[in-house]
Amino acid sequence: MRRKKIYRRVLLSFFLISLAAIIYLIIYNLEKNIPNEIKIVVDREESFSFNMPLKANIETEDIGVISVNDTRVPSNQINIDLNEPFTLSSSKIGKYIVNLKLFGLINYKNISLDVIEQVELIPCGTPIGISIETDGILVLGNNEITGADGLNYEPSYNKLKSGDYIISINDKKIMQKEDLIEEIQKSQGKDIKLTIRRNGEILTTRITPVKTTSGKYQIGTWIRDDTQGIGTLTFISTNGHFGALGHGITDIDTGRLMEIDKGEIYDAQIISIVKGKEGEPGEIIGMIRQNEKNRIGNITDNTSQGIFGDVNHKYKLKDEANPLKIGFKQEVKIGKAYIRCMVDGTIADYEIEIQKIDISNSNHSKGLVIKITDERLLNITGGIVQGMSGSPIIQNNKIIGAVTHVFIQDSTKGYGTFIENMVNKLE
């Protein structure tokens, strides 16, 4: 009898574990294959094939605006079976909520259906120099300092944290680290009041500068107020905006997205290319032509999907470039595509293979896995190298994404972001 009870418990435990595993796999599969947002162009039919046990309801007061499988739906509640291929179109711009139900019974989640105007972008692929100034003085970290009396002090301990932005000292706004250093010297060791921004919250703190053996006053904090680098211009829109990099500019020490006050992008001259190899990513080494003549535009936003801004009206593309329509997530296919970049003095399209597509929102900058297959590019760079981030990805004569990262252990492979993610930020 005791053995039977133990046997039943083991069977029950095995059943529950198996059931939990099945539910986890179903949810994981749904999250990987069902995006949180779907974009379609107004008056253009889009095809979808999710092959998922879901029913979708679109509730709208705009009766007859949305068509499913080429049939105008008169009802204000539109039902779609995601287990079968279907087409979707809308005659009106707008946002709609799509309610998903698992097996048509259990509420799963809501996704956004965004109907937009046709967007055309000029894919660039040109190397750019990037120069930005932070919105305040960025705190990198604190350190111990030796005072004039020979003792060690940590005046900023528990008062300033890595990632803070110092925006004023004694109620005087500051934008450059030299101004902060000057004000600290003027304090002559008396308390200073610092106003800081921490995770969007404004705080104040008081710190007593310490006189060091050199005779200067310090608060024991590492700071930064600007940064520069080389990247790739992804696109210019037909109304004069640009997007670049495909990922945000993060501080090398804190790893956080930098909050910027202003910035510029300039033409960059490639001096040399360090080829990538296993365990060591390569790099484009360039010189920023930082003058008004070579200024491409002004940076207005630094986001997780790249940097964005306005193009200088005097800027002209080096080569003839025609606008391309954007391709949405649902249009991207496994297989051949191209990246556009300039690694040998001229802009060229190089063949790649899209190996994996992740339309979920788990990581916006890693929606695509790509592999460089063009021998010309492999001979020059060894694959994807630092500085190529932002290179536009083109498939079926549409711009569908941008290169974002390289695989450290295999420089022929890397990640890309969907262009619609960048367009979201541009909007």
Query: Which fold would CATH assign to domain 121-126+242-248+265-427?
Result: Thrombin, subunit H (2.40.10)
241 is catalytic: no
Q: Which of 81, 226, 344, 374 is catalytic?
A: 374
364 is catalytic: no
- Please list the residues that pair with 195 across neighbouring strands: 168, 204
| Mean pLDDT score, 332-336 | 95
Predicted pLDDT of residue 89: 84
Q: What is the pLDDT of residues 227-283, one digit of tens each?
A: 889 999 999 998 889 999 999 988 887 788 888 988 999 999 889 888 887 778 888
| pTM for this model (two decimals) | 0.85
Q: Which of 114, 156, 237, 247 is catalytic?
A: 247
User: Which own/partner contact pairs does 176-184 have at CB distance under 8 Å and 24+ positions apart?
Assistant: 176/137, 176/225, 177/137, 177/223, 177/224, 177/225, 180/137, 180/223, 184/209, 184/217, 184/218, 184/219
Q: For residue 353, how many C-alpha atoms fall within 13 Å in the half-sphere facing its CB? A: 8
Q: What is the pLDDT of residues 22-75, one digit of tens each?
A: 666 666 666 667 788 888 888 888 888 878 777 777 777 666 677 777 776 666
Q: Which of 389, 391, 405, 411 is catalytic?
A: 389
62 is catalytic: no
What does the domain layout of the chain look like in residue ranges?
34-116, 121-126+242-248+265-427, 144-219
Predicted pLDDT of residue 47: 85
pLDDT tier for residue 351 given thresholds of 50, 70 and 90 = very high
For 144-219, the fitting CATH number among 2.60.120.10, 2.30.30.40, 2.30.30.90, 2.30.42.10 is 2.30.42.10
**Is 34-116 CATH 2.60.40?**
yes
